[in-house]
Structure 1
């Protein structure tokens, strides 16, 4: 108990001693938000570094993720209540490296339930950064509302002297409360940048500016705490998708196979043997496949397993080729990285296992 009290004190005081900065953001919030009824925002917590605990305020690694509950997070950033009427719920309390289908579906169903209510204007999700981009893209495909949904994390634990969680929380509430965020799909609000769920990537293991959309760019920025948009995605999302998770209890198994020198197809054989309904092949270059691995993937496709060609290269599209891969019915991932291609394939497989129809999904989403 003593440790928890000390920790809470550190989180609310030391890590937020820079409250002068936070207060300056809050003070410059649009005046009209103070004159009219404040929006209602719900924060759903899943754990992660943003709720992490370390032994000292200078420890940036080796901490316990998800040590703090949502109540402590809300107490630590009182400025959010100047922006919106905020309440919180705990969905899970894990490091996001342990995220799973069960939590995804629980989270998505709860968000859809909340956003169907007229008195809920937006959602913020606190999340670990390891799989944040995956959860964001999953929600981007299954949320059935055009109300703002914002997902955030932190690269430094809550106890750190330079914790990045507080301003991310404040910015996220500002964004979820903003009418300008409506209809833009699931958004990521970190390091004063606004990214879209489809294109965002975690690009660095340690830096606070890790979340970027390297080729296609940010959607906007926070300017003195106010969200300002400069771009919008052209791909379908949220209310325009065909995916419905309301009656799902699990998702089809899809495995990612990372190609390399001396690849021999055994991982593809293992995926098939273990019940995979789909395979994402993270190939070299433009999704190239080692000649020794081709037979196993051809065999998988003949068995009705959908194979998606993606690339281990961090940027650029995986496009059609003149090789036998196209004749085998392999789907091309476009600009989706392997982990996001896996999500779209999982959801696609809840509708069909026809490679041509799934290929059309990859062109739309």
Structure 2
């Protein structure tokens, strides 16, 4: 049983620089060597994809990462893939791969909140749990081929989010909880997603980061919306069940009239947009009048799915449009 660890950088790969601050420098081999007992779980190979802080990661690199994962899915000797990455945008990378991969080989994303030079560094434990999860034969029997493993919990990329800026127990699935936990040497499955993330065939030439995302806030100005007039799409996290201040509606109408797709979600950590509860100007009725696509992901993942939908020319397949 062979698991490939694909290292991309981040805190898990960081060491102290000359100035005392941490920067990603460790290779995949170094990460693997620091984990006691790892070789008893699986035969581990490494692939050094990059070594950058996660905020540097681009959508083009996310697509390239999905292609690397797909190449290992075609290798009969590989039973699982673990991607190590910085936690800042880990949920976005994992979700991008979840939207584009579509293979059978389990793919697990993990990282660390404390770099190896700190007391209580969590990278080795997370890597061990991830290799164990990627090696679990029941993973292939689920409808989920991509996961995030952190702090001995296995999450669906569609549900998980980074909840705390510095705590090691940062990744949570707020509404539906984790899919499984890692207890000692066992992966304990509790449920599977009822609706797995659909896979999209992305045209690399259509990939773009020019998708603007914004939160609706009290009495906000329309400046960020008007700035999106020439963008590929606009993502909006509305208040509550799908409500926006009336002052931004003309700018949203301008986007619609300019054929800029508008994808709406809620800024609440749990729940979805309403369809027909309210009818005042600025309610979900206005979102429908604007022809908004509806997303059930948080804003950062909504933007990822919008980028994928644009590159696949598949907005109607990626989102509902009530």
2:124 counterpart residue number: 166
Q: For structure 2, which runs of at least 5 residues remain unmatched after alignment?
A: 280-284
1:45 maps to 2:7: yes
The partner residue of 2:101 within 103, 124, 143 is 143
Structure 2 CA distance, aligned partners of 1:93 and 1:287?
A: 39
Q: Distance in 2 between matches of 1:85 and 1:101?
A: 31
Distance in 2 between residues matched to 1:46 and 1:101, nearest whole Å: 14
The structure with the greater share of residues assigned to strand is: 2
- Aligned CA distance change for structure 1 residues 358 and 147 (closer, same or farther; 3 Å): closer
- CA drift of 1:340 comes to 0.8
Deviations 1:187-226 (A, max 9, x none): 1111111111110011111111110101111111111132
Aligned length: 311
Alignment of 1:114-133 (within 5 A): 114-133=72-91
1:249 deviates by 4.3
Q: Identify the residue that residue 351 of structure 1 maps to in structure 2.
A: 312
**Paired position in structure 1 for 2:213:** 256
1:305 partnered with 2:260: yes
Offset at 1:269?
A: 0.8
- Residue 247 (structure 2) pairs with residue 292 (structure 1): yes
Partner secondary structure for residue 227 of structure 2: helix
> In 2 relative to 1, CA 86–229 (structure 1 residues): closer, same or farther, beyond 3 Å?
same
1:243 aligns with 2:210: no
Instruction: Report Cα offsets for 1:172-195 as digits up to 9, x if no partner.
Output: 111111111114221111111111
Deviations 1:115-140 (A, max 9, x none): 11111111000010111111111111
Aligned counterpart, 1:281: 236
Residue in 2 that maps onto 1:227: 187
Q: Which moved more, 1:182-191 or 1:130-139?
A: 182-191
Unaligned 5+ runs, structure 1:
1-38, 57-61
Q: 2:43 aligns with which of 66, 85, 107?
A: 85
- Partner Cα distance (1:242, 1:81) in 2: 33
Question: Contact conserved, 2:252 with 2:290, CA < 8 A, in 1?
Answer: no
1:250 and 1:162, CA in 2 relative to 1: closer, same or farther beyond 3 A? Answer: farther
* TM-score, with structure 1 as normaliser: 0.80
Matches of 1:329 and 1:125 in 2, distance apart?
37
Displacement of 1:55: 6.8
- Answer with 1 or 2: which has the greater Rg: 1
Distance 1:352 1:102 in 2: 17
Partner of 1:24: none
Computed over aligned residues only, the root mean square deviation of the Cα atoms, in angstroms, reads 2.0
Query: Aligned to 1:145, what secondary structure does the other structure show?
Result: coil
Question: Do 2:102 and 2:145's aligned partners in 1 also have CA atoms closer than 8 Å?
Answer: no
Q: Distance in 1 between matches of 2:25 and 2:299?
A: 30
- How far apart are the structure 2 equivalents of 1:300 and 1:280? 11
SS of equivalent residue, structure 2 residue 24: coil
Q: Does residue 1:64 correspond to 2:22, yes or no?
A: yes
Separation of aligned partners in 1, 2:117 and 2:235:
38
Q: Distance in 2 between matches of 1:150 and 1:254?
A: 27
Check conservation: 1:257, 1:267, Cα contact below 8 A: yes
Shift of 1:68: 1.3
Report if the CA contact (8 A) 1:331-1:358 is conserved: no
- Runs of 4 or more off by more than 6 Å in structure 1? none
Q: Please say if residues 124 and 152 of structure 1, whose CA atoms lie closer than 8 Å, have aligned partners that are also in contact.
A: yes
Matched, 1:337 2:298: yes
Other structure's SS at 1:106 match: helix
Instruction: Tell me the alpha carbon deviations over residues 8-27 of structure 1, each in whole angstroms, 9 at most, x when there is no partner.
Output: xxxxxxxxxxxxxxxxxxxx
Partner residue of 2:282? none
Question: What residue in structure 2 maps to residue 216 of structure 1?
Answer: 176
Counterparts of 1:250 and 1:127, CA distance in 2: 25
Q: CA deviation at 1:148?
A: 0.8
Tell whether the 8 Å contact from 1:48 to 1:128 is kept in structure 2 after alignment.
yes
